[in-house]
Amino acid sequence: QVQLQQWGAGLLKPSETLSLTCAVYGGSFSGYYWSWIRQPPGKGLEWIAEINHSGSANYNPSLKSRVTISVDTSKKQFSLKLSSVTAADTAVYYCAKVHWGSNVLYYYYHMDVWGRGTTVTVSS
Amino acid sequence: QSVLTQPPSVSAAPGQKVTISCSGDSSNIGNNYVSWYQQLPGTAPKLLIYENNKRPSGIPDRFSGSKSGTSATLGITGLQTGDEADYYCGTWDGSLSAGGVFGGGTKLTVL
């Protein structure tokens, strides 16, 4: 049974860089994508980015210029960096395990394991 | 503004049935499988339904999913007070802005 444990700084000042890491315990690290999703206070989920064990990554176009996602397969960890943060980046950030692939007809894409979330507040 | 459209809220009495809709277009729901997530207050989202209508181990059969064209529906029967939560649909969007997408979420109130 895969479990995700995430950590990182919870209070940032505007213009600083958000840095979060998620460790994968149990199960396989390869064969899946590993994603970051955030949820501003009182709002819905926003997909940020994802990466697989070989470093192939996809990014939300609205955040791509500020986001770096990386993977360390030796430690079974993946990380998120978001630069030049503002108050609009205040949110709970989740890491998640992604099943992504296709059959003859469609792509399947779902997150079956989630981290507990890290609250990140940007304030001067 | 979310890529997928859900009603902000739905409500029903205990024991009743409720459905939650999720609308998209051909770049997302129309050509990909849909998943549904339940988020209880103060907790991380939990996968309820994947590939339109499959339930992960441990999810009761009171929860069901379906898809038709560019829309999907989550159904919950035998409502319980513990079902009161936010529900999100999600899928892959294969447009130029390719990536994971979610609906805006639906707050279920069990009266």
All residues of chain A having their beta carbon less than 8 Å from the beta carbon of residue B44 are 94, 114-117
Q: Do A100 and B92 touch (CB under 8 A)?
A: yes
- What is the pLDDT averaged over residues A16-22? 98
- List residues of chain A with CB under 8 Å from any CB of chain B: 35, 37, 44-47, 50, 58-61, 94, 98-100, 106-112, 114-117
Mean pLDDT of chain A: 95
pLDDT the model gives residue B45: 98
- pLDDT at residue A105 in the model: 80
Among chain A residues, the shortest Cα distance to B43 is held by A116
What is the pLDDT, as a whole number, of residue B94?
Answer: 87
Confirm if B27 and B108 have CB atoms less than 8 A apart: no
Using an 8 Å Cβ cutoff, are B20 and B73 in contact? Answer: yes
* Total Cβ atoms within 10 A of residue A2: 14
- B53 vs A72, B68, B94, CA distance in Å? 34, 12, 21
Report d(CA A41, CA A117) in Å as an integer: 13
Residue A45's closest CA among B57, B72, B36, B71?
B36
pLDDT for residue A94 is more than 90: yes
Size of interface A-B (CB pairs under 8 A): 72
Q: Who among B47, B92, B102 is closest to A107 (CB)?
A: B92
Of A50, A60, A115, the CB nearest to B44: A115
Tell me the two tokens of residue A38: 């955030």
Q: Which chain B residue lies closest to A62 (C-alpha atoms)?
A: B97
List pLDDT tens digits, range A25-69.
Answer: 998 999 899 999 999 999 999 999 999 999 999 999 999 999 999
Answer whether B104 sits within 8 Å of A44, measured CB to CB: yes
User: Which residue in this structure is represented by tokens 């051909």?
Assistant: B26
pLDDT digits (tens, 9 = 90+) for B34-91: 999 999 999 999 999 999 999 999 999 999 999 999 999 999 999 999 999 999 999 9
CB–CB of B108/B20 below 8 Å?
A: yes
Q: Of B24, B97, B23, B47, which Cα lies nearest the Cα of A47? A: B97
Asked if A110 lies within 8 A of B32 by C-beta distance, the reply is no
Question: Vertex A26, ends A55 and A1: CA angle to 5°?
Answer: 115
Polymer length of chain B:
111
Where b means 16+ CB within 10 Å and e means fewer, B74-108 reads: bbbeebeeebebbbbbbbbbbeeeebbbbbbbbbb
Which residues from chain B sit within 8 angstroms of residue A110, using beta carbons? 33, 35, 47, 50-51, 90
